Structure formats: structure tokens, C-alpha cells
Amino acid sequence: MKHGYLIQRLIMFFVVIVLAATLNFIIPRLAPGDPVGAVLEELRARGASTGGDAEDEIVAAYRARFGLDQPIHIQYVSFLFNTLRFDLGYSISYYPQKVEQALLRSLPWTVGLLAISTLMSFAFGSFFGALMAWPRAPAAVNRFVPFFMILSAVPYYLLGLILVYIFAFVLRWLPLGGAYASGTVPELDLDFILDVIKHGILPALSILLTSVGFWALGMRGVMVTVLGEDYLTLAEAKGLPDRRIFFAYAMRNALLPQVTSLAIALGTVASGSVLVEVIFNYPGVGWLLYNALRSSDYYMVQGVAFFLILTVAVSVLIVDLIYPLLDPRIER
């Protein structure tokens, strides 16, 4: 891999992060008033007595404590610095916990559930889609096309509700929600792992089933184009075994646009899955965001938003770095 390419990608990544942090800084400050005043207003509205003469002093003290008495550019620099150190401030509803602590606690659940089900969906969908376009595949494969089309049209939260109703509520085969049975202490033993898997099946299934059609149909489309390429005719003329043509010549090339979609899909996994986590009471980042919105935990919302931008940027960076290995033409 060329160093220039690597450096260029890393600079791009850094610029995106700084821009995201800047937006995160500007947007709340566009609102009239300041946070301390807003809190006081809220207290007054609830009928709490405010300190009268002492009020101005208290306000000044709090402004000083949060650094709001500093000139705006100093505030900006220290905000950027904090953000880059991944210091996202205090959560209001979990005070004195910090936003990043709450995020890091939810992250493994989201990554475990969503990244794994998205990757599985990608792998299975792409393979199946490639088979659907392959002329020598079993005819039965193509009967799944309408099935995939319908599934990809169903919103995953709806399918999630249906799955919960059937398998958890009516049949009682699987738990209704949560990431593990309430009352158990998370530890790394077999029982706990099995419990986590049992709780993960339904949410994972709802994501997998609704997204697999997207990958399968997308792959089928690209594959049909690739199968018409001259290099496929030559591969066949060379007398290569079908398996070799399918994987190394057809699927290998058809996967390239799919991988780009995967980068975007992985990035939006966290934000896109809020509803799944809400339906299944799953303690991930989406669940955190949902609760933060409900309790007006601005710092938390801001923190999660920044974090989501970060996940998109990181997954795009990863794909950018992997892509030249998949497609040698991309570097130049």
C-alpha cells in the first residue's frame, strides 16, 4: 500500500472528526440563553425558590465552573481538546457519571448484536445473491427472490414486534427482552454466555431477516453485470472449474460495490438500530440515546451523536484501508 494513500485517508478521517466536533460545539450555542440560565428557568418553573440577591453570584460561579465565562474561542479550543481526548462531559441523568463511561458500557452490546448480525447478513446475503445470478445454480435458489423482496420491504422494528409476539409471548421459547436475565451478574462463564445468546437471537434475527434481502438483491444485480463481462467468457474458455470462476472471477468482482455499502451500513448500524434496542430493551447505544432523548439529557445526546459520527468515520476509514487490497485499481 502506498504511504501517500494511507496518509491522505488518515488526514481525511481527522478532518471529519474535527468538523463533527465543531458542529457539536456550535449547534447548542446557537440556542438563545446559556445552560445555567436554562436550568434556573426550569427550577423557577417548578416553583423552587431561587436565591434572590445571591442568584447572580450563583450563576456567575456556575458559569465559571463550566468555563462559560471564557471568550468563545477559548471555549472552542478546550472543547475540541476534550473531545479529542474522548472527554464528552457529564451526563445529566446519570450524574456524576461521564457520557463516555455510559457510552463505553453500552458499546459492547451494540457492537456484539448489530455488527455481528450485519456482518452475517452481509455474508449470507451476498453469497445467496451471487447464487441467484449464477446460471448453473440450483433452480430452487431463485424461488427466494420474492421472499427477499418482501422481507427487505418490512421495517425491522415491525418484524421485531412480530417475532417477539410469536416466539417470546405466545410460544415462550425465548426471552421477551434485555441482554441477559435480570438479576444475573455479568461474568464470563458458559451459563451467562448462553443466556446472552438466547437473548440476542430475536433482535439479531429481526435485523438479519430484514437486511439480508438488501444484500442479496444488490449482489444479484451486480453479479448479473459481472457475468456479462469479457473476463468471465475467457475464464470459462480457459476451462476453469465452476467453483473457481464463481468465487475468484465473478463474486470477487461483484463484491466490490457491496463492500462500499457495507461501510455505510456498519456506520449507521448504531443509529439505525435504536428501535430494535428499544423494542427488545437491549442495553446498547441506541437504548442509551432513546433514554437520553426522553430525559432531555443534552450532553448525552450530544455525546451519542458525536459517537455515531465517529463510528461512520471509523468504518469508512477501515473500508478505505481494506479496499485497495480488494481492488488494486483504487489506489491511483
Using CB under 8 A as the criterion, which residues of the chain lie in contact with other proteins when the complex forms? 229-231, 233-241, 244, 248-249, 252-253, 256, 326-329
From start to end of 20-71, where are the E strands?
Answer: none
**Most distant CA atoms of the chain, gap in Å:** 92
Pick 91 or 126: Cβ nearer other proteins: 126
CB of 331 to other proteins, least distance (A): 10
Rounded to 5°, the CA angle 130-267-293 comes to 135
Please check whether residue 323 is in contact with residue 279, taking contact to mean a CB–CB distance below 8 angstroms: no
Closest CB to other proteins among 55 and 331? 331
Q: Give the Cα separation of 235 and 240 in Å (integer).
A: 6
Min CB(253)–other proteins separation in Å: 6
* CA pair distance 119, 19, nearest whole angstrom: 29
In the bound state with other proteins, the residue whose beta carbon lies nearer, of 26 and 248, is 248
Shortest Cβ distance from residue 88 to other proteins (Å)? 41
Name the region of 67 (left: φ>0; alpha: ψ -120 to 50; beta: rest). Answer: left
**Among residues 189 and 230, whose Cβ is nearest to other proteins?**
230
* Residue closer to other proteins (CB basis): 191 or 236: 236
What residues are paired with 90 via a beta bridge?
A: 98
Output the smallest distance, CB 249 to other proteins, in A. Answer: 5
Smallest separation (angstroms) from other proteins to the CB of 328:
4
Is cis: bond before 96, omega within 30 of 0?
A: yes
Nearest approach in angstroms of CB 259 to other proteins is 12
CB of 134 or CB of 307, closer to other proteins:
134
Distance CA 51, CA 35 (A): 18
